[in-house]
């Protein structure tokens, strides 16, 4: 409680003075601030209630009690949800600092335990998560059996401030002041097609020939990263005839003979039926970056997952950078070998 009071007093011009806080010392309750953070991070009372496992009326009661106790309005209700007032924004800064201090204290306590415990949510692009990270998590689980890893495999922007993930993997460094980033690796992409498709289709001998074939790619309005908007790098004006927000859906559409698709080589290595098209003429390079919120980066269980993923990627760097056809079964975690395509 002393820590919470001290941090809250750090918020400048919050419309809450030390006398107010001091006189209400016995009434201060971290739960009220926990509910406050939940509303900030979800945007509505109902979403906050779902996150906390309670009713929206309970959330509303805590928010009203906190506003009454602090003598300041914290939210303005709008058509899009609950927006912070200036006082609420200043309280958010102080409360997040308090939350970070509490997390650090919990981490110090956990260091005294022999077994690593806790839950870590890892947000990652679906291709990297499904093909590379997921098959290797059994090693981490064997190392730390009491550690829970939640792998959120989707290509979108994760808000670490809103605690949508403890660790997020993206395609570039972040500009957020309280998020620590590190580059994991570069990776290469090529145009791929199913071997059966290439045998039954007009030959591709030049980049211009590529235009005569259907393409598989992303749904443009759901491309949250400019690094994924790369069809123009293959040829100006090329558009995808079949589109999906999910990279693995694109992989299987390509395997079925749906056309050409730009894929990372570390994914294509697991699918022997995929053949690189003009690899000497058409290739791209992108990067993976890992992001961890400053409040979490020293937490033992979060650091263990982050270090494991980074070390696995570094150890298998050839899988991400080698040209098509170089990798074998020792590099790809598994191979997809259907006897026939239906």
**Is pLDDT at 223 greater than 90 in this prediction?**
no
Q: Check if the beta carbon of residue 249 is closer than 8 Å to that of residue 307.
A: no
Average pLDDT, the chain: 83
What is residue 334's predicted lDDT score, i.e. its pLDDT?
57
The answer to which of 66-75, 78-87, 122-131, 215-224 has the lowest mean pLDDT is 78-87
Residue 176: Cβ-neighbour burial (10 angstroms; 0-12, 13-18, 19+)? middle
Number of Cβ within 10 Å of residue 231's Cβ equals 17
Who has greater pLDDT, 237 or 166? 166
The whole-number average pLDDT for the span 180-206 is 95
User: Any bridge partners for residue 217, and if so which?
Assistant: 243
CATH 1.10.10.10 fits 2-110, yes or no: yes
Q: What is the pLDDT of residues 77-123, one digit of tens each?
A: 887 788 889 888 888 877 877 776 666 665 555 544 457 888 899 99
Select 186-285's CATH number: 3.40.190.10, 3.40.50.300, 3.30.1370.60, 3.60.15.10. Answer: 3.40.190.10
Confidence grade of residue 34 (pLDDT, cut at 50, 70, 90): confident
Average pLDDT of the residues in 60-70: 89
Q: Enumerate the CATH 3.40.190.10 domain ranges in the chain, comma separated.
A: 118-184+288-316, 186-285
Least confident segment among 3-17, 37-51, 76-90, 140-154: 3-17
List helix spans (H) across the chain: 2-8, 18-23, 30-42, 45-52, 56-70, 86-110, 126-127, 137-143, 195-200, 207-210, 231-234, 247-255, 265-268, 300-315, 317-321
Q: How far apart, in whole angstroms, are the C-alpha atoms of residue 277 and residue 280?
A: 9
Give me the pLDDT at residue 44, please. Answer: 87
Provide the 8-state DSSP code for 323: P
Q: Which CATH number fits domain 118-184+288-316: 3.30.70.330, 3.40.50.920, 3.40.190.10, 3.40.50.12780?
A: 3.40.190.10
Domain with CATH 1.10.10.10 in the chain: 2-110
The larger pLDDT score, comparing residue 8 to residue 47, is at: 47
> From CA 201, how far away is CA 223, in angstroms rounded?
29
């Amino acid at each position: 409680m002393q820590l919470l009071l001290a941090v809250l007093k750090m918020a400048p011009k919050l419309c809450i003075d030390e006398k107010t806080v001091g006189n209400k010392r016995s009434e201060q309750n971290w739960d009220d601030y926990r509910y406050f953070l939940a509303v900030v991070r979800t945007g509505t009372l109902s979403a906050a209630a779902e996150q906390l496992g309670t009713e929206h009326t309970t959330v509303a009661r805590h928010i009203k009690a906190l506003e009454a106790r602090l003598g300041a309005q914290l939210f303005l209700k709008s058509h899009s949800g609950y927006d912070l007032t200036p006082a609420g924004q200043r309280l958010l800064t102080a409360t997040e600092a308090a939350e970070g201090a509490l997390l650090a204290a919990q981490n110090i306590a956990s260091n005294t335990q022999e077994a690593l415990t806790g839950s870590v949510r890892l947000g990652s692009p679906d291709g990297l998560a499904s093909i590379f990270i997921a098959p290797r998590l059994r090693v981490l689980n064997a190392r730390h059996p009491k550690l829970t890893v939640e792998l959120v495999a989707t290509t979108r922007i994760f808000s670490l401030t809103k605690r949508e993930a403890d660790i997020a993997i993206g395609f570039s460094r972040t500009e957020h002041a309280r998020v620590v980033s590190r580059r994991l690796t570069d990776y290469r992409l090529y145009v791929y097609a199913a071997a059966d498709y290439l045998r039954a289709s007009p030959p591709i001998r030049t980049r211009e020939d590529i235009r005569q074939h259907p393409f598989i790619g992303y749904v443009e309005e759901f491309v949250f990263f400019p690094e994924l908007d790369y069809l123009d790098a293959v040829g100006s004006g090329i558009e995808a005839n079949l589109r999906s927000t999910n990279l693995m859906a694109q992989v299987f559409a390509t395997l079925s003979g749906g056309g050409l698709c730009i894929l990372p080589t570390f994914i294509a290595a697991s699918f022997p039926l995929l053949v690189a098209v003009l690899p000497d003429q058409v290739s791209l390079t992108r990067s993976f970056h890992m992001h961890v919120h400053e409040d979490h980066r020293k937490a033992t269980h979060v650091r263990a997952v982050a270090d494991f993923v980074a070390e696995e990627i570094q150890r298998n760097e050839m899988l991400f950078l080698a040209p098509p056809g170089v990798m074998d079964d020792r590099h790809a975690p598994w191979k997809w070998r259907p006897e026939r395509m239906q």
